[in-house]
Structure 1
Amino acid sequence: MFRRPARPVTAVAAALAAVGALTATATAPASAHTPVARAGATARHVLLLSVDGLHQSDLAWYVAHHPDSALARLATGGVEYTHASTTVPSDSFPGMIGQLTGGNPGTTGVYYDDTYSNALLPAGTTGCTGAKPGAEVDLTEDLDRNKDSLDAGQGLSGLPGSILNMTGDASSLTDPSKLPVDPKTCKPVYPHSYLKVNTVFDVARKAGLRTAWSDKHVAYEILDGPSGTGVQDLFAPEINSAATGYPAGDDWTKDNAATEQYDGYKVRAVLNEIDGYDHSRTHEVGTPAVFGMNFQSVSTAQKLPGSDGLTGGYLAKGVPGPLLVKNLAFVDKEVGAFLAELRRRHLDGSTTVILSAKHGQSPTDPKALTRIDDGPLLDGLNAAWKAAHPGAGDLVAHAVDDDAMLLWLTDRSTAATEFAKAYLLARSGTGNGIDGTAKPFTASGLKTLYAGAAAARYFHVLPGDARVPDLFGVTQYGVVYTGGKGKIAEHGGAHADDLDVPLVVSGAGAPRGVRVGGSVETTQIAPTILRLLGLNPEALDAVRVEHTRVLPTR
C-alpha cells in the first residue's frame, strides 16, 4: 500500500498550484560548455541503473550465492537500503518518473503508461470548441511512428545492428496524431508536457550539466520534463517491435534471449557515454553528469513460463528458477562491465552508481498464481450498468488491469463508482493456476477496492482530479489479470512483491559497507542525485510538494 505518510489533500493541491511560481535556487541557466562550480558536490557523475522486476530478495539471494560478483561489490561497497519501496501503482512509468522527480503519481500526474484524462480531448481531435473532454493517454509503443520497428520508425538500414545510430531526439519519433489534445490550444500534448513536475534532468541541464538516458519506448521523452529539453541524449529503441532473428510476430519480450540482446544495445550506449561520447559513439561530448538505463531481461525471466529451454519465474517462494538465475548473472556481467569501464577511464572515484528497480513483480510464490481474464468482468459491469440505466452507454471509459485494477468511468458520480465497486466485489468465477488447471476466484480477484473519493484520498489528490482513477483495486495475492496462460507474473499492484525493490548507492560520496534497514522510497533517489552533484534538491517541484528527503546514510 502507498507508504508515504498521509497529507491533507487540500495542502497537496495548494502546493501543486504553487509549483509553477517557485524558483529553483540552484539552477541558474548556464551554457552546456560552461564549467559549473557546484558547492558541496561529492560526485561529478551519477550512473542510475534500473533493473525492472528485481526484488531486494533477488539481490540478496544473488549476492549470498555470488559474494565476489559485481552486484556484491556494489552492494557491500556502498549503502544498501534493505527496505526500499517503489511507487503505487508499481508500473514502469510512475516508477521511473518517481526516481527522477521525487514524486508519487498523485503529484506527477502519471499513474501508469496507459491512462485516461478527463481534461484532454481524444487523439486526432481538430475541432476543439465545444468538444467534450475525456481521452486515453497512451504512453506505450503506440506513440511510435512505427511501433513494429526497433528504431520506432526512423528508417535506419541494417537493423538491428545499426540501432546505435538511432537519434537521441526521441520526441522526433513520436507520431503527434496519436497524442491527446489540449482543449485550450487544440494542439497535441507530448509526454513531457503531460508531466506536472520537473525532473532531475531539467535541473541538471539548467546547471549546465550534460544528461543522457536509455529506455524502452520513445514515450520516455517524458523524462525531459516540462522544459522539453531535460535529456540531451535519449536512446530509446522500441522493445515491443518485431524481434529480428526470432519467430515472426514476436517482440523482444517474448523470448528471453531476445530481451538480453535488446538490453545489450542499451549497455553499449551507456559504455559509449562513459567513454565521453554520445550513445552512438559519433560525437565526443563528455561523460554525462546524470545518465543510465533500465534492464528488461530480469522482468521477462519472471513473467515467461519458460524460454530458451529454461523454466521461468520462481521455483518456490522467493527462490529464483533457472531462467531468472541466468538473467541475474547477465545483469551482473553488464554491471561489472560498467564498473570496469569507469575504472579504466579513471572515473570510478568521481562517479556514484545507484541501482534500483522501477517495479517488482508478483507473485514470487508460483503456487499463489491465479490468472483471471478481466474481459468478462468489465463486459459484465458495462452490461449491468446499461441494464440498470436504459439508454446509457458503457460505464468503463478506460481500464488497465495487470496485477492491480485501474478503472476510469464515463460517469464519475458517487452513485456510479459505488455501483461499479459493488458489482466487482460480488463477482466470482474460475481462472487458472500455475499449472494451467482451473482455479476459482472471488470478488473479481480483489482484496480491496477504492472507489470515487476513496481512490482520490488513496493517491492524495482532491476528488474529481482529472487524472486519478475512479476505482483502484488491490488484488488478492497472486492474481494476474490476463487471458490465456502466457504469463506467470505481472506488476502494477501494491503487494510486497510489487513494491520491495533493491536500492544501492555506491561510489563517490557514499560510505562503504553500510546497510540501512529503515523504510525508504525510490522517490528519494531524485533529491539524492542532486545532492551528490552539489545541486539543490529543493529545485525539484515534487520534492517541495511531498517534502521528499535525501536518502539517509545510516
Structure 2
Amino acid sequence: MERTWKWSAVAAASAVALGLAGAQSAAQAAQDEQHEHHEARQVKHVLLISFDGLHQQDVARCVAGNTCPNLALLAQSGVTYTNAHTPGLSDSFPGLAALVTGGSPKTAGLFYDVSYDRTLYAPSDTQCQGKQGWNVVFDETTGIDAENGGALVHLDGGGAFNPQAIPNAKINGVCTPVYPHNYIKTNTVFEVVKQHVRGARTAWADKHAWGYDWVNGPSGHGVDDLARTEINSIDPATQSDYTDVYTHTEKFDNLHVEALVNQIDGKDSTGKTNAPVPTLFGTNFQTLSVAQKAPVAKGGGYLDASFTPGPQVADAIAYLDKSLGRIVDELKQRNLYSSTLVIVTAKHGQSPTDHTKLVKNGDTLTALLEANNYLDPNGNFGQANTKTGNLNDGSGLVGTGFVQTDDVGLVWLRDPSQLNAVVKTLKDNLSCNAPGICADGPQAYILYGQSVKAKFGDPSLGRTPDIVVQPNPGVIYTSSKKKDEEHGGNAPDDSHLGLVVSFPGLHHAGRTNPDYVLTTQVAPTILRALDVDPDLLHSVAAEGTRALPGLGLGREE
C-alpha cells in the first residue's frame, strides 16, 4: 500500500494517530493547526543542488548582506544547518557519494576520482592473469574521446566509455570489466527511489560525462536521465576547456540550469523528448569552485580570514544565486514549487580561504616517498608512467601503489609490509622545511593501521589507502601558480559546508539548526521526505546514518 508522508507536524493529529486522543482536545488541535498556518503537503519531488565549494560562512555572509536573495528566500521557508560537514574526505567523489548514498568512503568505497585498488587488473588484462593493483582514473579521460590520448572534442565525452579506462576484476572466477557504477560499493538514493516510489523518474547532471556513471549505483540504471556533460571538453568557441576562468565555467553550468528547466517543463535534460518531471533530480555547479581556486593576485579566492569574497568569488555567488532563482521560478510557474523539497549544499568546500595560511611547497609528500624508495624514485608508478605518455590509456604500470595529493595525501603502498617504516619516515619529516610534509601543526595528523581501518575500512581488502596524511590547514601539495585553494581533505575550510533544506510550509521554517550534522544525512532525509525507508540504502543501514534533525519529520529526531 502506498503511503503519504505529511510534513506539517500537527501535535493533535499525531496524538490521534497514536491512540492518545484524550491527550489534547479537538479545539486545541485546531488551534495548533492554525498556528502552523499551512495545510499538510506532500513531497512529490526532491531537487538536490550542489554548489561545489560553498562554505557555511558563504551562506551566512550572502544572506546577511542580501547578495543571495534567492537562497535567502529558500532559507526563509526552510532550515539552514550552520554546522554541516563532510564525513572525512572532501573530494568530489566522496562528497557526492555522501549526499546520494548516506555513507562515508568506508562503505561507499569512493576516496577520490583518481585512486587505487589492489584487487583490480589492468584494462588490457582481459583474462585477469597478470599482476593486480591498478591506479583507477575516473575523470574526464573516462570518455572515449580520450582513447589513445585523444583530444576531448565532444561535450558528451564522445558518447561512450573509453575502454582503456576500465579496469577488470575477477568475479566468481570470471574476468569482468569494472565500470564506475561497478566500482561504487553501495547502492544510491536514485536506485532506491526508482525501486520504491511508484512511477518514479530520476535525473542527475555533473561535471564529467562518464566518470560520474557511478551515480547509477551497482545496478547501472539508477538514473533515468544522466546528462553527459564534460567540463574538460574543448569549447569550440574558445579552444579551451570550461575551467580556465570562472566566467567560462558559468557557460558550462548554464547547461545544467537548462537541463533542470527542461526537466521541470516535462522534458528530458536535452529538451528534445517529453518525459515526466523527475521524482529525484539535481545537479552540481562548478563556477564557485573555479573562482575560489583562482589566484588571489588575480581576484580569486577570499580577502581575509572572515570569508570576505574577492571579486571572482563575489561574482560567482551572485551567478549561482541568479541560477537558483531561475530554477525556483520555473518550479513556481509549473505549479511544482509547493510539492518540491529543495536541498542546496555542496560536495566539498575549498581550502584555505585565509590566504595568509597558504603553503605551496610542491608535492613534498610524494617526493619524500620516492626519495626513500617506497615509490619508484623516477615516478614510474600507476598512471604516472604509461608506455605512450597518455594518461589513462590503459598502458600504465600494475601493482605499483599510488599517492593522491591535493590538500590531503592518500597513500596506497606498493609493499604494505613497509607500513611502519613509511610512517616513521613521515613522522621524522613533519615540518615544512625540505623534505618535510608540512604536517607539524595541531590540526594535522597521520592515520594508519587501526585508525585508518576504523574510519575508512581495511586497507588489506584493496580499496582503502594504507595512510592518510592531513597536513596543516592551508597546505596544498602543489607548486602550481594557477590555483591558491584546493579540496579533498579534512581541513576546516574543506569540510564545513552550507546546507539549506527548504519546503513550503515546513514545520520549522526560517530557523537555523546548530547541530553538528554530516552531509551523509541528506540521503536518508530525501527518502524520509518521499516516505521511503532510509535503511534501504546499504550505507545508511551499515553506518546508522540518521535523517537531518529539526525538519518536523518526527522519526528522525
Task: Give the TM-score normalised by structure 1.
Answer: 0.83
Which one of the candidate residues 539, 547, 553 is aligned to 2:544? 547
Measured against aligned partners, the alpha-carbon deviations of 1:497-542 in whole angstroms (never above 9, x if no partner) come to 0100011110157331121111111111101111111211111111
Matched, 1:532 2:514: no
Contact 1:144 1:174 in 2 (8 A): yes
Q: What secondary structure does 2:144 align onto?
A: coil
In structure 2, what is the Cα distance between the partners aligned to 1:118 and 1:215? 28
Q: What is the rounded CA distance, in whole Å, between the counterparts of 1:429 and 1:450 in structure 2?
A: 17
> In structure 2, how many angstroms separate the alpha carbons of the residues matched to 1:540 and 1:387?
38
CA RMSD of aligned residues (A): 2.4
With 350-359 and 114-123 compared, the bigger mean Cα shift is at: 114-123
Q: For the Cα contact (< 8 Å) 1:382–1:396, is it kept in 2?
A: no
Aligned length: 482
Cα 1:410–1:453 change in 2 (3 A) is farther
Partner of 1:31: none
**1:452 shift after superposition:** 3.5
Aligned to 1:285: 275
User: 1:298 is matched with which residue: 276, 279, 288?
Assistant: 288
CA distance in 1, matches of 2:465, 2:229: 30
Q: Does the aligned pair in 1 maintain the 2:50–2:347 contact within 8 Å? A: yes
Partner AA of 2:241 in structure 1: D
CA contact (8 A) 2:155 2:229 kept: yes
Higher Cα Rg: structure 1 or 2?
2
Residue 140 of structure 2 corresponds to: 141
| Contact 2:67/2:318, CA 8 A, preserved across alignment | no
- The equivalent of 1:398 in structure 2 is 402
Q: Which whole-Å deviations, capped at 9, do the CAs of 1:42-85 have from their partners, x for residues lacking one?
A: 30000000000110001111111117710111122211111000
Mapped partners of 2:502, 2:252: distance in 1: 26
Structure 2 spans left out of the alignment, 5+ residues? 7-41, 147-151, 383-398, 552-557
Say if 1:441 and 1:364 are closer, same or farther in 2 by CA, change over 3 A: farther
Distance 1:64 1:488 in 2: 26
Return the alpha-carbon distance in structure 2 between the equivalents of residues 258 and 501 of structure 1.
Answer: 24
Which residue number in structure 1 is paired with residue 387 of structure 2? none
Q: Pairwise mapping of residues 445-524 of structure 1 onto structure 2 (< 5 A)?
A: 445-446=438-439, 447-459=444-456, 461-508=457-504, 510-511=506-507, 512-524=509-521
Which residue does the alignment assign to 1:276? 266
Deviation at 1:373, TM superposition (A): 1.2
Cross-structure match for 1:211: 202
Distance 1:294 1:441 in 2: 38
Give how far 1:383 is off: 3.5
Aligned partners of 1:102 and 1:525 also within 8 Å: yes
Q: In the aligned structure 2, how far is the partner of 1:386 from the partner of 1:101?
A: 34
Q: Tell me, yes or no, if the aligned pair for 2:100 and 2:522 is still in contact at 8 Å.
A: yes
1:189-228 deviations in whole A, cap 9, x for unaligned?
0111111111111011113300000001121110101111
Following the alignment from structure 1 to structure 2, what is the Cα–Cα distance between the partners of residues 333 and 72? 12
* Structure 1 segment 402-413 matched on structure 2, within 5 A: 402-413=406-417
Asked if 2 retains the 8 angstrom alpha-carbon contact of 1:146 and 1:152, the reply is no
Instruction: Tell me the residue number matched to 2:333.
Output: 344
* 3-state SS of paired residue (1:483): coil
Q: Could you tell me whether the CA contact under 8 Å between 2:459 and 2:465 is conserved in 1?
A: no
Alignment check: 8 A CA contact 2:121 2:132 kept: yes
Cα distance between partner residues in 2 of 1:506 and 1:37 = 24
2:393 maps to: none
Q: Displacement of 1:268 after TM fit?
A: 0.4
What CA distance in whole angstroms lies between the structure 2 residues aligned with 1:473 and 1:68?
A: 36
Query: Does 2:150 match 1:180?
Result: no
SS in 2 for 1:74: helix
Q: Contact conserved, 1:404 with 1:472, CA < 8 A, in 2?
A: yes
Moved more, 517-526 or 68-77: 68-77
Question: Which AA in structure 2 matches 1:402?
Answer: D
- Could you tell me the TM-score, scaled by structure 2's length? 0.82
Contact 2:402 2:413 in 1 (8 A): yes
Aligned letter for 2:97?
Answer: I
Residue among 413, 417, 420 paired with 2:419: 417
Q: In the alignment, residue 366 of structure 2 is paired with which amino acid?
A: L
Q: Distance in 1 between matches of 2:381 and 2:165?
A: 24
- After superposition, the Cα gap between the structure-2 partners of 1:462 and 1:393, relative to the gap in structure 1 and judged at 3 Å, is closer
Q: What's the CA shift string for 1:327-352, capped at 9, x where partnerless?
A: 00000000000111111001111001
Tell me: CA distance 1:71–1:127, structure 2 relative to 1, closer, same or farther (3 Å).
same
Amino acid at match of 2:407: D
Instruction: Report how far residue 381 of structure 1 moved.
Output: 2.2
Distance 1:64 1:393, change over 3 A: closer
Alignment gaps of 5+ in structure 1? 1-35, 155-171, 431-439
- Aligned to 1:464, the other structure's residue is in SS state helix
8 A contact 1:386–1:393 mirrored in 2: no
The one-letter amino acid of 2:273's match is: H
How far apart, in 1, do the equivalents of 2:469 and 2:375 lie? 24
Distance 1:550 1:386 in 2: 43
Whether contact under 8 Å (1:352, 1:509) holds in the other structure is no
Q: Tell me whether 1:198 sits opposite 2:187 in the alignment.
A: yes
Q: Deviations over 1:408-467 (max 9, x none)?
A: 111112xx112222223333787xxxxxxxxx57741222112244322232x2352311
Alpha-carbon deviation of 1:494?
Answer: 0.7
In 2, Cα distance between equivalents of 1:221 and 1:235: 10
Distance 1:199 1:43 in 2: 19
Is 1:235 aligned to residue 227 of structure 2?
A: yes
The residue aligned with 1:39 is 4
Q: Identify the residue that residue 24 of structure 1 maps to in structure 2.
A: none
Partner residue, 1:167: none
Task: Call closer, same or farther: CA 1:441–1:380 in 2, change over 3 Å.
Answer: closer
Given the alignment, which residue of 315, 328, 333 partners 1:326?
A: 315
Q: 1:234 to 1:500 in 2, by over 3 A?
A: same
Output the amino acid matched with 1:227.
S
Whether contact under 8 Å (2:403, 2:409) holds in the other structure is yes
Contact 1:371 1:485 in 2 (8 A): no
- What is the aligned partner in structure 2 of residue 27 from structure 1? none
